[in-house]
Amino acid sequence: MSDISAEQVRHLANLARIDLSDAEIATMTTELGQIMEAVASVQAVATPDVPATSHPIPLKNVYRADVVADVIPTDKALASAPEHDGSRFKVSAILGEEQ
Amino acid sequence: MAKAKLMDYDKALELFEPVLGFEVHVELSTKTKMFSAAPNNFGSEPNTNITPTCLGLPGSLPVVNEEAVRYSISLGLALGCEIAESSSFARKNYFYPDLAKNYQISQFDEPIAINGNVEVELPNGRIVQVDIERAHMEEDAGKLTHVGGSTGRIQGAEYSLVDYNRAGVPLVEIVTRMIEGAEHDAPELAKAYVATIRDIVIALGISDAKMERGNLRCDANVSLRPRGSDKLGTRTETKNVNSLRSVERAVRYEIQRQAQILADGGTIIQETRHWHEDTGATSAGRPKSDADDYRYFPEPDLLPVVPDPALIEELRAALPEKPADRRRRLKADWGFTDLEFQDVVNSGLLSEITETVAAGATPQAARKWWTGEIARLANAAEGDEGIDISPAQVAELQQLVDEGTLTDRLARQVLEAVAAGEGSPREIVEAQGLAVVSDDGALIAAIDEALSAQPDVLEKIKDGKVQAAGAVIGAVMKAMQGKADAARVRELVLERAAAL
């Protein structure tokens, strides 16, 4: 039995700015539920003495020295933008979502 | 924006206990950004300090700035925190164009520093311990300029322009635990806490710490608990507070606003509020998202930070004296009264006086100059440039007074010339011939002339009415263009009058 509800899928879609139809939400609810069950089967074999990991390779402390290197020229950076004013990227005004 | 109804502050405190919490963001002054080799410079032309990583372009990869990690560890230690054995980065997902990649790299469940404590001293001398929950590393976001609409604010804007120079600048976010018991001092505590963090990062040399530039930013959480209740109220988080004075005002405003709503039977909405410097009020922002809505997950492009214990000890040994310890030491060394010392602290003159004393002046003389004449000149100076007087110059000026070359009045005149950039005090004395006339011969000549010009005064002095000498002293000081020691002139006037 899936732990995922249609309401959760609708909320996630909204957060991800993806416009889903009711039919798509129904499909996604089933599919995400199956994914959750697959993940849960991994949890079944995990034991408390295995620490959680976010990386498959045991590397740590990969650093960069604090030295300035090349930047992208402004015109090149702006070239791929749909709109700009010559020095800044132009975006639609979005209300109430600043962090 | 409709102005909210505010309850009288004292009445609000009678009915409710304020509970506070702060999130302070500190921009680190590394040469490059947190995850890319782009310059970390303020005030550059828009979009000139950017790399593919700052723009989140496909194929770009973040790499951690080692210096930023060292700075963060130092800050964690200065806040009395434990440094995590292993700490990792996470993606905080949200859609807003201040970051181009639709997430901010931050830390979530494994911050670099946890469980600290800072001592905060209030203007009234009360000391409050503020517990630090965590300090974590993250990247700053770009700067948006809203265009169109009448106010220049986001409301009514037609479009926004984005400058990513600030995107990726290293930040440390310092989160306090809930602060109870501040009571009446809550607004002052808010200001003093942020000032303490500022003093710490300045002493560490890890941030420019200029609030007006956004190097140091404070989000203030305020909630009210009805007296006699142990249930916490709903909190609001006020953002965009960019001066110490505003932090204090914003907290006071929120206490008064929330108290009025609760007293009227209303409920507080958990939300972000924006502080408006011009109106001195906060306005509603977005409803506060649940942490879940950020869908944090481990940043797959970055590896854990596992600081070498030897590095931590090296950084601990290099920590500067804590600001609170420094204040206690200086107060004892200088022998100032509580009032004198508080005046110096509140004026932010500790370093100036320390350096002036190191240059040879007595603490009292240094205090007198900095809190008196120099403060007056600085206030009178036009614009916000301030005035350029060094501690060494102040010590030299005081030395000229001590050796009798300058009277206090002449010294003030020389100080003005120093402020005007005319040179060192000694150079100015020589260039303008301002030294006190200490040659008794010259003084006596002027005194004799003044006495013979005012025979009636001479008679009065001879009759024992010494206060009449004032007129003669005045005439002599005028003749000497003020460059005489008035006390010595008085002595000589009485001597000459007796002899004549």
pLDDT of A95 > 70? The answer is no
- Let me know the angle formed at the C-alpha of B34 by B29 and B36, rounded to the nearest 5 degrees: 115
Q: Which residues of B touch A17 (CB under 8 A)?
A: 95
Per-residue confidence (pLDDT) for residue A97, from 0 to 100: 46
pLDDT bin (cut points 50, 70, 90) of residue B277 is confident
pLDDT of B128 > 50? The answer is yes
| CA–CA gap between residue B370 and residue B379 (Å, rounded) | 12
Q: Which residues pair with B220 in a beta bridge?
A: B22, B238
Q: Which CATH topology does A6-45 take? A: Histone, subunit A (1.10.20)
Q: Would you list the DSSP string of B174-188?
A: EEE--B---GGGHHH
Q: pLDDT per residue over B23-70, tens digit each? A: 999 999 999 999 999 999 999 999 999 999 999 999 999 999 999 999
Give B133 or A56, the one with higher predicted confidence.
B133
What ipTM did this prediction achieve? 0.88
Per-residue confidence (pLDDT) for residue B317, from 0 to 100: 97
CB B448 within 8 A of CB B454: no
Least confident of B71-85, B132-146, B224-238, B409-423: B409-423
Most confident of the following: A11-20, A51-60, B487-496: A11-20
The secondary structure element, H or E, covering residue B225 is: strand B216-226
CB B434 within 8 A of CB B428: yes
Per-residue confidence (pLDDT) for residue A1, from 0 to 100: 45
Q: Which residues of A touch B214 (CB under 8 A)?
A: none
**By the CB < 8 Å criterion, does A43 face chain B?**
no
Per-residue confidence (pLDDT) for residue B396, from 0 to 100: 93
pLDDT of B291 > 80? The answer is no
Partner-chain contact A64 B65, CB within 8 Å: yes
pLDDT of A99 > 50? The answer is no
- Beta-carbon neighbour count of residue B229 at 10 Å? 11
- Inter-helix orientation angle B66-78/B186-204, to 10°: 130
Q: Which residues of B touch A15 (CB under 8 A)?
A: 93, 293, 295
Residue of chain A whose alpha carbon sits nearest to that of B35 = A64
Domain edges within chain B: 9-315, 321-432, 440-499
Domain edges within chain A: 6-45
pLDDT of A4 > 70? The answer is yes
Residues A1-29, mean pLDDT to the nearest whole number: 89
pLDDT of A50 > 80? The answer is no
**All residues at 6 or more sequence positions from B36 whose CB lies less than 8 Å from its CB, including other chains:** B51, B53, B54, B60, B62, B63, B168
The secondary structure element, H or E, covering residue B53 is: helix B52-55
Q: Which CATH class is domain B440-499?
A: mainly alpha
Per-residue confidence (pLDDT) for residue B154, from 0 to 100: 57
Query: Rg of chain B over CA atoms, in angstroms?
Result: 30
Most confident of the following: A95-99, B115-119, B211-215: B115-119
pLDDT bin (cut points 50, 70, 90) of residue A84 is very high
Partner-chain contact A94 B160, CB within 8 Å: yes
